[in-house]
Amino acid sequence: MKRFALLTSVVALAAPLSLAQTSTWVPDKMHSEVDFSILHMSLANVRGRFGNIGGQIVQNDADITKSTVNITIDVTTVDTGVPPRDADLKSDHFFDVAKNPTATFVSSSVAKNGTGLTVNGNLTLHGVTKPVTLQVDGPTGPVSGMDHKPHEGFSATTTISRTAFGIASSYPASVVGDDVKLNIDLDIAKQ
């Protein structure tokens, strides 16, 4: 009976320690965005951005490679600085935001890569899910934000194929390039 009581006490003490090893962070919507660039007419890159980034990162404080990422991107916020083009991008010719208003990225692994990280996961965009790899700088900080919470920063890059996600499949690459370069900047706040 004493062994059972001792074992129960050890388990009860260990449970909070295992929970204390993770922390939850959410994007600061005012300071986080996904920027993109794509070649237009084989002449010049068109650039744009998505705002209203949501989701969360659960960091393992003892081992960052055991962390998880689950980020949501509001595709309805697409902004290239040209309102008629933005309206076309939101239409069923491209993102079809009426049916697919958000994109999500869910990590499957996190690995150290020099001074940064390599984060593998699945990106769901335009109703299609494909694996992608992010090359990540960070985390920076933490620093205290205006909200008096600790903040950290991450910057990530990747390149995806628009046609692999079924976006503007009727447009040849000579009109709208196939490779889309993504730059992701996240300012995340500890919860």
> What's the pLDDT score for residue 10?
46
Q: How confident is the model at residue 141 (pLDDT cuts 50, 70, 90)?
A: confident
Tokens of 19: 């929970």
> What's the pLDDT score for residue 4?
46
Entry pTM: 0.86
Say whether pLDDT at 13 is over 90: no
Distances (CA, A) of 62 to 22, 104, 107: 8, 26, 18
What average pLDDT does range 171-177 have in this prediction? Answer: 91
CA distance 178 to 157: 16
- pLDDT tens readout for residues 43-99: 999 999 999 999 999 999 999 999 999 999 999 999 999 999 999 999 999 999 999
Q: How confident is the model at residue 105 (pLDDT cuts 50, 70, 90)?
A: very high
Q: Is 75 left (phi over 0), alpha (psi -120 to 50) or beta?
A: alpha
Strand segments, DSSP code E, in the chain are 22-27, 33-40, 44-50, 53-60, 68-74, 102-113, 116-125, 128-137, 143-144, 150-161, 176-190
Tokens of 55: 């989701």
Q: How confident is the model at residue 2 (pLDDT cuts 50, 70, 90)?
A: low
> What's the pLDDT score for residue 12?
52
- Other residues' Cβ atoms within 10 Å of the Cβ of residue 189: 21
CA distance 14 to 142: 27
- Alpha-helical runs (H) found in the chain: 2-19, 83-90
What average pLDDT does range 109-113 have in this prediction? Answer: 96
What average pLDDT does range 148-164 have in this prediction? Answer: 96
Q: Which residues contact 97 (CB under 8 A, 6 or more apart)?
A: 75, 76, 78, 90
What average pLDDT does range 2-9 have in this prediction? Answer: 47
Least confident of 20-24, 52-56, 178-182: 20-24
Contact (CB, 8 A) for 29 and 52: yes
